[in-house]
Structure 1
Amino acid sequence: MHLHGKGRKERVLPLWKHTSAAVRAWMRTLPTEPTQALLPNRFGQAMSRSGVEERLQRAVSAATSGCPSLRDRNVSPHVVRHSTAMALLQSGVDLAVIALWLGHKDVSTTHQYLEADLAMKERALATLQPPETKAPRYSPKADVLAFLDSL
């Protein structure tokens, strides 16, 4: 799927087969113009950012019957984007792939997701064993003690 995102960046994303089939079925209901937006507004134009937010809020409202905790959350397109990136990271997807997926020019921009994931840090810490060694007690040599006495 080709997407045009923020800053007019174009992204190419793979889809699951069942998602691709659903998109193709949806496209058959749309006019067959090559520039037709996949998710048009009521005028047939590409949906605006506020239109996307409004549709997402409708979906969240509908989903609250099955998941009441959604009432207490602010779900925005950015939250969906961030959650998707975190799910990819937690699934073991390479950070460079996530950066490409999100349209980041530099992997360092995507690095913030590594910093944000406390659960991953806790799992990594749980795999480590604390060191079993004790630090030896320091015993100064006679010449060091003599020097210190002379001060």
Structure 2
Amino acid sequence: MPTRIASIEPPMSFPALVQAFFTDYLVEQRALSPQTVAGYRDAFTLFLTFAHQNLGKWPATMNLSDITPTLILAFLDHLEMERHNSVRSRNIRLAALRAFLKFASHHDLSALQTIEQDLAVPMKRFELPLPEFLSREEMLAIIGDPGMTWISRRDHLLLGLLYNTGARVSEIIHIKVADVVLDGAACVHLYGKGRKQRAVPLWKSTVKEVRAWLRLNPTMGNDSALLPNRDGQAMTRNNVTQRLSLAVIKASKTVNSLLGRHVSPHCIRHYLPFLTMSSHVKASVGMLGI
């Protein structure tokens, strides 16, 4: 009888690899958080768009062999020079590509040599700049007054919570009504990177404002976003950045040090956290009645 030769399955196509990377590897095997998966997705969207512009190929027609060190380096330069991304952001995008290439190396042995060359593209070294911070006067000017409109009161609570908790934007926009404890030891439960959870104490002034906000929005349920947009959905990162920028512009009319200054949500995080405040800062907080 003739010897039967075992059939060898052809390697997965590039679109199938990308789909398996996200659905099977990131979600099912590694069980990464939706925020982390979204970060990988954004990196791939940028990279595939750049590859299409430079190679003239749609993602559906690409091959692993198209991803060369030259293309990767050109993409990274594009991020820095044209999109004005920081070196840190550049390295995060590269880390996402590396994770995919390592995954792909287990599914397409014919591309091992190309993948090995791609993985040799190094991370870029950089010096950490001194963190920018806001003074108490600047922060209070940015928070401003609650105002009379629904939007102004929401923004006042948003900025106050950022100041009180030192939370990341991703943590703030995902706060639900049920995450806020107002009785007894008032606190807010935050869900951060890597599914880490923590409870942050709330100042008396913040508790008072949350109560007023909930009275203004009696239809909010426990699963409702505490800080919704006009459609009742959770705010996005862009929403928060835009509202903060408008608040800074308004505050700069009375605080000259804010004129022309870019204040990001992360800048507020550099203010000393409540639990590690110096006695001098705690005294300042006490003056606020919190």
TM-score normalised to structure 1 length = 0.52
Q: Does 1:55 align with 2:243?
A: yes
Post-superposition offset of 1:75: 0.5
Distance in 2 of aligned mates of 1:48 and 1:7: 19
Post-superposition offset of 1:18: 2.0
Q: Does 1:4 align with 2:185?
A: no
Q: Does 1:28 align with 2:218?
A: no
Deviations 1:50-93 (A, max 9, x none): 111111111111111111211232101110011244x865516x
Where does structure 2 lack aligned partners over 5 or more consecutive residues? Answer: 1-187, 280-290
User: Relative CO higher for 1 or 2, CA cutoff 8 Å, sep ≥ 6?
Assistant: 2
Post-superposition offset of 1:3: 2.7
Change (3 A) 1:59 1:37: same
Distance in 1 of aligned mates of 2:265 and 2:226: 17
Match for residue 45 of structure 1 among 224, 233, 244? 233
TM-score normalised to structure 2 length = 0.28
DSSP-derived class of the 2:242 partner: helix
Looking at CA atoms only, which structure, 1 or 2, has the larger radius of gyration?
A: 1
Equivalence map 1:69-84=2 (5 Å): 69-84=257-272
Equivalence map 1:1-151=2 (5 Å): 1-6=188-193, 9-30=196-217, 31-85=219-273, 89=276, 91=278
Question: For residue 23 of structure 1, what is the amino acid of its counterpart?
Answer: V
Distance in 2 of aligned mates of 1:8 and 1:46: 19
DSSP-derived class of the 2:254 partner: coil
Question: Between Structure 1 and Structure 2, how many residues are aligned?
Answer: 91
Question: For residue 18 of structure 1, what is the amino acid of its counterpart?
Answer: S
DSSP-derived class of the 2:198 partner: strand
Question: For residue 45 of structure 1, what is the amino acid of its counterpart?
Answer: Q
Distance in 2 of aligned mates of 1:90 and 1:32: 34
Change (3 A) 1:90 1:84: closer
Distance in 1 of aligned mates of 2:191 and 2:276: 23
Distance in 1 of aligned mates of 2:261 and 2:194: 27
Distance in 2 of aligned mates of 1:60 and 1:32: 29
Change (3 A) 1:72 1:7: farther
Identity among equivalent pairs (%): 51
Distance in 1 of aligned mates of 2:225 and 2:269: 20
- Cα RMSD over matched residues? 2.2
